[in-house]
Chains A and B, each alone.
Chain A
Amino acid sequence: MNDLNSTQWMSKQSNQQWFRKIASYLLLTFIAFLFIAPILFMIVGSLKPDELVLSQASTLKAFIPQQTSLQNYRDVFERVKFERFFFNSLFINSTIVLLGLIVNSLAGYAFARLRWRGRSLLLLIVIALMILPFEAIAVPLFFQFTFLGLRNTYTAQIVPFIANAFSIYLFYTFFADLPKELEEAARVDGASPFQTFVEIIVPVSKPVFATVAILTFLSEWRSFLWALMITIDEKVRPLPLAIATFQTLPPIQWGDIMSFGVMMVAPILVVFLLFQKWFVKGVASTGTKG
C-alpha cells in the first residue's frame, strides 16, 4: 500500500478501503462502548465515594475514577458476609458442574454407544424434556422441597440440577459422532463398557466436557429465581440473590452495591477472558441443536 510506484487507480482504491476500514473500526468502537459502558460504570463507581456515583452519572465523569479508594469494598465486607455468599455460590456451582459431568456423560454414553432395550424411547423422553424450562417446574419443585423440609439447604440448591437433559443431549451427539473403531479393540479385549468409556472415550472428548462444564456453570451462576424461593438466610444464600437483597438493605449506598457487583462478577470474568474460546464454542453449540 505504501508502494510509491503504485498507479493512481490503485492508491485511490486503497484509500477508499482505508476509509472503510477506519469507519468500521469507529462504528465497532462506538458499539463496543455502548456494550461495556454499564460495566465500566460499575467498576469505576465501585472505586468512588458513594455520593459521587449518582451525582456524576449524568456526565462522562461516570467513567473516570475519582477520589479513588477501596473504602466501598471494605464497607461491603463490614456490612454483609460477602465471603459466605461467594463460597455458597462457588460450592453449589462446582458441585453441580462436577457431578453433572459424571452423571450426564455416563447417560450420554449409554444412549450413544450401547444397545439396550428402552433406549430409543428414553432418549426421546430426554430430548422432549429439553424444551421444559426450569421456570415451568419451579413452583411444584418449591412445593416438593418445602414439603420435604429441605428449604434453606445446599441440597435443595444442588441435587435438582445435577441431571440435565440438555447436557445429556450434548454428550449424546458428541459420542455418537465418534468413530466406531475407537472402542472396538477394547471391547474385543474384554473391557467392560465402563472401562472403555473411562479409558478410551473420555480422553478424546475433552471439548464436549469443556462445553458442558461452561454452559452449566454459566447458567447456574446466574440462577436467581430458585434461590429466591428456597433459601431463607445468608448461610446458604448464593450471590445473585445476595446482591438483590443487598441492594434493598438500608442505608442504600450505590458505591457499596457496585463493589459487591464487581467482586461477584470478577471471577467469572477472569475465567471467561482466559477460556473465552470455549465459552463461544459452548454457546455456538447450543445453536446447532434441533
Chain B
Amino acid sequence: MIEQKTRKLNDDTRVAISMAAPALTGLFLFVVLPFALALVLSFTNLRLGSPLPIQFWGFEQYRRIWLDPSFRQALLNNALFALVVVPIQTTLALGLALLLNRPLKGMAVFRTLFFMPVVFPMALVSVIWTIIYAPGADGMMNAFLKFMTLGFWQPRDFLHDPALALPALMLLSIWQGVGFQMVIVLAGLQSIPISLYEAARVDGSDRWNQFRYITLPQLRNTLIFVVLVTTILSFRLFDSVRIMTNGGPGDATTTVMNEAIKAAFDQQKMAKGSAITVTFFLIVLVITLLQRLLVQEERTIE
C-alpha cells in the first residue's frame, strides 16, 4: 500500500511537471528572465546601438535618476495622480454600486452603460478625448464647463496648460476606470448576507447606520483591493500620456513609465530605462505588500 502510494506520487511528479512545463517555461523566459535582465542592465551603461564597450557602473544609473528633475516630477505626478484619482474613483465606484444594488427594474441596463468605457482600449479613448479637450470655445469640454458654471468658464487649452493637463488625464482615467471598480464593489455588496441587514432592521437601525456598521465593514477587503489596484494603475499610467501629451507641457504630465520608455526606447538608454523599471517595480511591490498587511490585519481582528 505504502509502496503503491509512493509510486503514484512519483508518477504525478512526472506528469505534473510536463503539464506545468509550458506555462512555467513561458513565465521564466518572459517574466523572470527579463526582470533579472533589467536588474543586471541597470548596473551598466548600456546604450542601444553604441559601438563602445559596455561598462559596469554600479549604482550610477540609480543615483542619476534620483537626481533627474524629470524623473522626480514623474514620481510626483504619479503620486498626485493616485492621491486624486484613488479617493474619487473609489467613492464613485461605491456610490454607483450602491445606486445599482437596489431591487429596481433596469439596473442591468445602467450597469452595462457604466461598464461600457472599460471595454474601450485606452488608446482609442485617449484619441477621442483629445478631441473632447480641444482648445477654444468650440471644444466640448470647454462648452460643457461653460454650461455648468453658467458662463463663467473661460476656454482653456487643457492638454497644453501646465495646470490643467494632469487633471485632464485624471478625469479621463476616472471615466474609463470607474466601471471596472464598480463591478468589483457590486460583487462585494452582493456577497454581504442579507440576514445582517434584516437583523439590523429589526433592531431599528436606519439606512445610514446600516451602511456605516454593516456595508462598509463587510466591504473592507474589497475596498482595500480596489484602492490598491487603483493606486498601482496610477503608477502604471502611460498610454494616455504618450498619446495625449507626451509628458508635456514641460514635465507636467510625465510619469514613471513615460520616463522609462523615453529613456529605453526614445533615447536608447537601455541601462537608465532598466533602472527606472526596477524602481517602478519596487514601488508596486511596496503598494502590494501594504495591501497584504492591511488585509491580514483585518483577518487577525476577526
A244 touches B123 (CB 8 A): yes
In the assembled complex, B131 has its CB within 8 A of some CB on chain A: yes
In the assembled complex, B62 has its CB within 8 A of some CB on chain A: no
CA gap between A280 and B115 in the complex, in Å: 9
A136 touches B123 (CB 8 A): no
A129 touches B15 (CB 8 A): no
A135 touches B9 (CB 8 A): no
A229 touches B138 (CB 8 A): no
A146 touches B123 (CB 8 A): no
Give which listed residue, A109, A160, A265, contacts B30 with CB less than 8 A.
A160
Contacts of A162 in B (CB 8 A): 22-23, 26
Given A137-B31, A142-B264, A146-B48, are A163 and B26 also a contact pair (CB < 8 Å)? yes
Contacts of A182 in B (CB 8 A): none
Contacts of B20 in A (CB 8 A): 106-107, 110-111, 122
Shortest Cβ distance from residue A171 to the other chain B in the assembled complex, whole angstroms:
10
In the assembled complex, A38 has its CB within 8 A of some CB on chain B: yes
- B contact residues, total (Cβ < 8 Å): 96
Most chain B beta-carbon contacts within 10 A, residue among A138, A165, A218, A239:
A138
B280 touches A135 (CB 8 A): yes
Give which listed residue, A135, A143, A280, contacts B257 with CB less than 8 A.
A135
**A249-273 CB contact bits vs B (8 Å, 1 = yes)?**
0000010011001001100110011
Contacts of A269 in B (CB 8 A): 116, 119
The residue in chain A whose Cβ has the minimal distance to the Cβ of B92 is: A31
B277 touches A41 (CB 8 A): no
Given A225-B238, A241-B123, are A24 and B31 also a contact pair (CB < 8 Å)? no
The residue in chain B whose Cβ has the minimal distance to the Cβ of A99 is: B22
Contacts of A32 in B (CB 8 A): 110, 113-114
Of A7-15, A52-60, A70-78, A204-212, the stretch lying at the interface with chain B is A52-60
Give which listed residue, B119, B142, B292, contacts A265 with CB less than 8 A.
B119
Main secondary structure of the interface of B (DSSP, over half): helix
Shortest Cβ distance from residue B92 to the other chain A in the assembled complex, whole angstroms:
9
Contacts of A290 in B (CB 8 A): 225, 291-292, 295
CA gap between A25 and B99 in the complex, in Å: 10
Shortest Cβ distance from residue B234 to the other chain A in the assembled complex, whole angstroms:
12
19 additional contacts (CB under 8 A) given A119-B16, A225-B257 = A25-B104, A54-B138, A58-B143, A103-B22, A115-B13, A137-B31, A138-B277, A146-B48, A162-B23, A224-B123, A224-B238, A244-B127, A254-B131, A261-B128, A272-B116, A283-B184, A287-B188, A290-B292, A290-B295
Nearest 3 A/B pairs, CB to CB: A163-B26, A287-B184, A58-B143
- List chain B positions with a Cβ less than 8 A from chain A: 9, 12-13, 15-17, 19-20, 22-27, 29-35, 37-38, 41, 48, 96, 99, 102, 104, 106, 110-132, 134, 137-140, 142-143, 175, 179-180, 183-188, 222, 225-226, 232, 236, 238-239, 242-243, 257, 260-261, 264-265, 270, 273-274, 276-277, 280-281, 284-285, 288, 291-292, 295
- List chain A positions with a Cβ less than 8 A from chain B: 21, 24-25, 27-28, 31-32, 34-36, 38-39, 41-42, 45, 53-55, 57-59, 62, 103-104, 106-107, 109-111, 114-119, 122, 126, 129, 131-133, 135-144, 146, 159-165, 168, 192-194, 197, 218, 221-222, 224-225, 228-229, 239-241, 243-244, 247, 254, 257-258, 261, 264-265, 268-269, 272-273, 276, 279-280, 283-284, 286-290
Q: Can you identify 19 A-B contacts, CB atoms within 8 angstroms?
A: A32-B114, A35-B179, A41-B128, A45-B131, A110-B16, A114-B19, A129-B31, A131-B285, A137-B30, A162-B26, A164-B23, A224-B243, A240-B121, A240-B124, A243-B124, A244-B127, A257-B127, A257-B131, A264-B124
